[in-house]
Structure 1
Amino acid sequence: MTARDTIFALGTGAGRAAIAVIRISGPGSGDALQALAGKRPAPRRATVATLHDPATGEALDRGVALFFPGPASSTGEDYAELQLHGGRAVVEGTLAALHRLPGLRAAEPGEFARRGFENGKLDLSQAEALVDLIDAQTEAQRRQALHVAGGALRRKVELWRAALVDALALVEAELDFSDEADVAGCSPARLSALLSPLVEDMRAALRLAPASERMRDGFVVIILGRPNVGKSTLINALTQRDLAIVSAIPGTTRDMIEAHFDIGGLPVTLIDTAGLRDAADEIERIGVDRTLARVETADLALWLSDSGESPPRCDVETIRVATKIDLSPAPEGAIGVCALSGAGLEALVAAIGRRARASLGDGAAALIVRERHRQALEQALESVDAVLIEEGPLELHAEELRRASRSLGRIVGAVDVEDVLDAVFSRFCIGK
């Protein structure tokens, strides 16, 4: 892969559609438009054109062509776009015509976004957030991804690094000009006044990090209970899909079944599990063991019982759910439901939603949304704490401040990120 290649790809979903968008980026973008449309459109002006295959002269489609000269484009280089009818033959014919043009090649996954990153159009945190935005399934996930993709984390990192630069300037001035009468001394009080607000702000961002990281994966709710209490019936009723086999035979559910659920815009993962009992056969025992192991990583457990049985002790918050309330009333302290009629389901969903919102937030204030971000910020905070807490020569303080700045730079891709670039951009779709 070289930055001077001209790349192209379908930027919309494959298959029959009303409109298809083909993207072209690189120094040959304008020439490619000239070859297909017969002329290069005026910059940033949508132009209706009949596209022809340069090799045969055959008409491919009548669509819209746009041209954005670099660096004022999404990739930072010459960029073109074709908006066509979304039929398979139109798309395949146009892509084939582009492929035959000299100097053009098909783009790799994430290559358009990577060029934008390399040309300063977005930082690494924004690129990662674009992946999250594409993957978002709920309103809160969309809100969180859009917040970071809009540069919220980049702006915060820039403020943090600016404070570090001010502190470093103070330390280095003391080192280089300590004998000058007009240079104020670098006292611990002055350093503390500069760095203490920074430390508090960084710690506040870290406190929100666990919720923001989990927002990407969802709030995990595991459904527990003895065999035949209605676990599979409940998950089918909540998702309104026949995900789990429902049978009167005990031990029907042998393995865990996951279902993704949207509660008030929050991502929730429901997990149906094997009934907890002394299993009669080896396969069922494996299912029970997996259930017990999965409980420890869940955010919430629903303990289902049709007899008022109390839940077993575990380290996860548990909601008692009384099933089959059409046959017997719910005991005190339990949420009563009848999955077949729908009675009580609204109250149960509301109870799950309250706990999910308390755990995940709403995504609007998210900053540190990935483990990579959190680790870099923790390293930066450790270095700044060393300056504030430990007594030592100013040379060591200066090095700790530089280390903190480098750690923050890794979040946005300013320094030392070559080892993560391929992993980040390979997750994109081709054409993004």
Structure 2
Amino acid sequence: DTAEFERKVRPDDAACSERQASRPEVDRDTIYALASASGRSGVAVVRLSGQQADQALLALQGGSKRSLPAARLAALRRLHHPHSGSLLDHALVVRFPAPASFTGEDVVELHLHGSPAVVRALLGAMAELPGLRMARAGEFARRAFLAGKMDLCQLESTADLLAAETEAQREQAVAMMDGGPSSIYNRWRKELLGCLSSVEAVLDFGEDADLSDSIAVDVRRRASALRQGIQQQLNDGRRGELVRDGVRAVLLGPPNAGKSSILNLLAGRPAAIVASQPGTTRDIVEVPLDLGGLKVIMSDTAGMREGGCEVEEEGIRRAVEAARMADVLL
């Protein structure tokens, strides 16, 4: 039946544990990295994840001089260099013991003063602790995925939310993070598994020809409806892509039609040179805009005409190519 088929193809908790156990040794290292934006700020957050996270915190506190703070309660601690003993900073420390953490591992967050010098000193001190290494790009999220803390849609939505510049991008990323697309895909998967289990039943116990025919008709109907649902989801006019990457709008027309003036008006600054002489704009001038919460990449192009110089002709060629790739032509 469907439950038996799902048991065969869907990894259970034991399979997930086996997948984690088979990770390369380098993936089981305790990792650390700056989790907040780089540069000067009021607060900087450094995150550790792995089996040695608590031991690293003890070493930064001065070994046995201070006990570990209680789980999920912020505590003020003085952080010292593990070898020289010099004071690095006063920090708020929060522990998230496994498995109830972002990565499913022991996690420690250090909330420091957001000075580049403070962050640099702390990261340098952590590099001298045994069993710790700097995290690779996206490694915390990768460990969260391997631990079953998030699915691929939520993983992608996390990156989209961090990169969101407009309200539409934020809304789309939050909806994905909340499991909207995942629920649709899981429903498709469940329906597909039901069709597959019915086909398996016919193959294994198909002596009754009438029963086989009725099952085949039902599977065909369900598969057709599933295909139609998937096609409808795909035929959304690339809405998700346009929201995430931005709508490419190209200003196209003859010289001195006001294309550069429109671009400067929308940008709120003199992004393109405006002059009465025809052919002033040669290369493409792109300006990212936030129009009503939607990211729009507006491009000013060379005026379309014949008989220009070689440089102007190249500008016109680029304008035609940009128009070919545009989502909107103005």
TM-score over 0.5 (shorter chain): yes
In structure 1, what residue type is equivalent to 2:43?
I
- CA offsets 1:280-307 (integer angstroms, 9 cap, x no match): 21111000111112212212222xxxxx
Structure 2 partner of 1:213: 241
1:150 to 178, 203, 215: 178
In structure 1, what residue type is equivalent to 2:59?
A
Structure 2 partner of 1:6: 30
2:46 to 17, 22, 39: 22
CA contact (8 A) 1:31 1:40 kept: no
- CA offsets 1:30-66 (integer angstroms, 9 cap, x no match): 1111111333222222111111111111221112111
Structure 1 partner of 2:296: 268
Q: Does 1:62 align with 2:90?
A: yes
- CA offsets 1:210-231 (integer angstroms, 9 cap, x no match): 2222222212221122222222
Q: Secondary structure at the match of 2:262?
A: helix
Q: Secondary structure at the match of 1:112?
A: helix
CA contact (8 A) 1:170 1:186 kept: no
Structure 1 partner of 2:56: 32
In structure 2, what residue type is equivalent to 1:88?
P
2:133 to 100, 105, 112: 105
CA contact (8 A) 2:198 2:215 kept: no
Structure 2 partner of 1:204: 232
Q: Pairwise mapping of residues 83-122 of structure 1 onto structure 2 (< 5 A)?
A: 83-122=111-150
Q: What runs of 5+ residues in structure 2 fail to find an aligned partner?
A: 1-23
In structure 2, what residue type is equivalent to 1:46?
A
Q: CA deviation at 1:176?
A: 0.9
Structure 1 partner of 2:287: 259
Structure 2 partner of 1:301: 329
Q: Percent identity?
A: 44
Instruction: Give the distance between the partners of 1:160 and 1:209, measured in 2 at CA.
Output: 21
- CA offsets 1:367-422 (integer angstroms, 9 cap, x no match): xxxxxxxxxxxxxxxxxxxxxxxxxxxxxxxxxxxxxxxxxxxxxxxxxxxxxxxx
Instruction: Give the distance between the partners of 1:5 and 1:279, measured in 2 at CA.
Output: 65
Q: CA deviation at 1:180?
A: 7.0
Q: CA 1:23/1:279 → structure 2, altered by over 3 Å: closer, same or farther?
A: farther
- CA offsets 1:89-147 (integer angstroms, 9 cap, x no match): 22111111111111111111111111111111112222222222222211111111221
Q: Normalising by the residue count of structure 1, what TM-score does the alignment of the two structures yield?
A: 0.66
- CA offsets 1:188-222 (integer angstroms, 9 cap, x no match): 33213433432232122111262222222212221
Structure 2 partner of 1:248: 276
- CA offsets 1:232-288 (integer angstroms, 9 cap, x no match): 122111110221112222211111011111111111111100011114211110001
Structure 2 partner of 1:75: 103
Q: Normalising by the residue count of structure 2, what TM-score does the alignment of the two structures yield?
A: 0.86
Instruction: Give the distance between the partners of 1:196 and 1:89, measured in 2 at CA.
Output: 61
Instruction: Give the distance between the partners of 1:13 and 1:187, measured in 2 at CA.
Output: 57
Structure 2 partner of 1:133: 161
Instruction: Give the distance between the partners of 2:87 and 2:53, measured in 1 at CA.
Output: 20
Instruction: Give the distance between the partners of 1:51 and 1:279, measured in 2 at CA.
Output: 71
- CA offsets 1:331-353 (integer angstroms, 9 cap, x no match): xxxxxxxxxxxxxxxxxxxxxxx
Instruction: Give the distance between the partners of 1:225 and 1:169, measured in 2 at CA.
Output: 59
Instruction: Give the distance between the partners of 1:225 and 1:296, measured in 2 at CA.
Output: 14
Following superposition, which runs of at least 4 residues in structure 1 exceed 6 angstroms of deviation? none
In structure 1, what residue type is equivalent to 2:49?
S
1:282 to 300, 310, 322: 310
Instruction: Give the distance between the partners of 2:246 and 2:229, measured in 1 at CA.
Output: 26
Structure 1 partner of 2:194: 166
CA contact (8 A) 1:33 1:39 kept: no
In structure 2, what residue type is equivalent to 1:120?
G
Q: CA 1:301/1:274 → structure 2, altered by over 3 Å: closer, same or farther?
A: same
